[in-house]
């Protein structure tokens, strides 16, 4: 009896101990599965500035504030952001339009995708405008380089355009992508192969294309190419009730004062017979200009104003001045003065007491 008496008790104790251990393991396993199955709280982070995808203009603090605002809005509705795309208008000219696009971290890729015909931009196009990239074009990749070059790789469908549209396509891509502050020029690849020329009409692009190459070129028959240099100015155009501004690259005397020559090109107006309008009265002249802390103060004679009873600066003239001059890297905003006038008024009768930026113009016109 003594030899076998304890054995059943020992076996029972071992059995109970094993059951307890197994039960603990099972409960621990259930807790682990529960933690894995529980969705993590959504976390939104700003894009990595070291990534190859170009970032929108503005400092980090502004971008962070913008992201927070978009996140807050996104809780109730799908967040959208304003993006400037260069499209083709009814007159066959390339012009910027600001559209509300879904919020995305891949801003440059998205901008190009919304420039493809029959693509996601279709229902967003303003009346009279069309996308410029051939239908079916896919954006295969973007690679930002340290020197400010952005390599754009597109699919074979990109080649399906007419020769007359080649420069317009190139200009629209260049101006859309160089709006991002870390992109100075673009280079084109097709299906992984670098292109020395455009595929249809052979426009040379081996050195890349930048805004200095111009847009909607206008060169008069009397222009001396050797002794002139290119400037880009903006003239108003109208489609129905919408007024928008079109960039035009023209030529001015080489070595002349940059601000004065640009303003003079505006005062002379667009090409005769053009669909563009001249917003300035005959006899308007610039007196002087002065740049301080990014603000360009420009003074004119009284012929710049319109209206006999309450003279004012037209909205179209102000937009042409601001959009043209802020294209220069050192000009952030424009302040207009008129000789003999204490306070310049806009069309609405409001004083232009503060310098006007490009963002102010875009917001007012809904570009």
Domain locations in the chain?
Answer: 62-212, 228-365
Closest CA to 306 of 345, 269, 332, 277: 345
Alpha carbon distance 177, 108 (integer Å): 6
For residues 270 and 218, is the Cβ–Cβ distance under 8 A? yes
For residues 233 and 240, is the Cβ–Cβ distance under 8 A? no
For residues 267 and 123, is the Cβ–Cβ distance under 8 A? no
Alpha carbon distance 188, 356 (integer Å): 36
* DSSP SS3 for 24: helix
CA 261 to chain centre: 26
**pTM, two decimal places:** 0.76
* 310-314, Cβ contacts within 8 angstroms, sequence gap of 24 or more: 310/345, 310/349, 311/341, 311/345, 312/344, 312/345, 312/346, 312/347, 312/349, 313/338, 313/344, 313/345, 313/346, 313/347, 313/352, 314/279, 314/347
For residues 360 and 322, is the Cβ–Cβ distance under 8 A? yes
pLDDT tens digits for 168-203? 999 999 999 999 989 999 999 999 999 999 999 999
Start-to-end CA distance of the chain, whole Å, equals 101
Task: List the chain pLDDT tens, one digit each, 367 residues.
Answer: 444 444 444 444 444 444 444 344 333 333 322 222 222 333 233 334 345 666 555 444 444 445 554 454 444 457 999 999 999 999 999 999 999 999 999 999 999 999 999 999 999 999 999 999 999 999 999 999 999 999 999 999 999 999 999 999 999 999 999 999 899 999 999 999 999 999 999 999 999 999 999 999 986 545 566 778 899 999 999 998 899 999 999 988 887 899 999 999 999 999 888 999 999 989 999 999 999 999 999 999 999 999 878 899 999 999 999 999 999 989 999 999 999 999 999 999 999 999 999 989 876 554 4
pLDDT tens digits for 35-46? 222 223 332 333
């Amino acid at each position: 009896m003594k030899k076998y008496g304890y054995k059943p008790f020992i076996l029972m104790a071992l059995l109970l101990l094993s059951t307890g251990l197994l039960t603990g393991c099972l409960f621990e396993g259930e807790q682990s599965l529960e933690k894995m199955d529980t969705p993590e709280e959504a976390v939104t982070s700003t894009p990595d500035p070291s990534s190859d995808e170009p970032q929108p203009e503005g400092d980090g603090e502004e971008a962070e504030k913008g992201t927070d605002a978009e996140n807050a809005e996104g809780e109730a509705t799908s967040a959208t952001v304003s993006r400037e795309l260069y499209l083709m208008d009814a007159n066959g000219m390339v012009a910027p339009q600001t559209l509300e696009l879904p919020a995305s971290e891949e801003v440059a890729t998205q901008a190009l995708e919304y420039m493809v015909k029959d693509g996601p931009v279709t229902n967003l196009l303003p009346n009279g405008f069309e996308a410029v990239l051939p239908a079916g074009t896919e954006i295969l990749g973007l690679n930002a380089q340290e020197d400010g070059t952005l390599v754009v790789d597109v699919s074979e469908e990109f080649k399906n355009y007419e020769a007359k549209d080649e420069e317009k396509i190139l200009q629209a891509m260049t101006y859309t992508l160089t709006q991002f502050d870390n992109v100075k020029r673009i280079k084109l690849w097709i299906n992984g192969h670098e292109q020395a020329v455009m595929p249809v009409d052979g426009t040379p692009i081996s050195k890349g294309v930048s805004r200095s190459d111009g847009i909607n070129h206008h060169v008069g028959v009397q222009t001396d190419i050797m002794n002139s240099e290119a400037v880009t100015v903006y003239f108003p155009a109208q489609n129905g009730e919408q007024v928008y501004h079109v960039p035009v690259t023209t030529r001015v005397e080489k070595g002349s004062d940059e601000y004065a020559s640009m303003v003079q090109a505006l005062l002379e107006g667009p090409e005769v017979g053009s669909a563009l309008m001249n917003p300035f009265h005959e006899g308007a002249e610039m007196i002087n200009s002065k740049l301080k802390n990014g603000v360009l103060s420009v003074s004119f004679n009284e012929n710049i104003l319109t209206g006999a009873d309450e003279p004012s600066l037209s909205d179209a003239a102000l937009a042409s001045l601001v959009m043209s001059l802020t294209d220069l890297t050192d000009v952030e905003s424009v302040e207009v003065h008129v000789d003999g006038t204490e306070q310049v008024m806009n069309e609405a009768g409001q004083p232009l007491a503060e310098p006007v930026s490009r963002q102010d113009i875009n917001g007012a016109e809904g570009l």
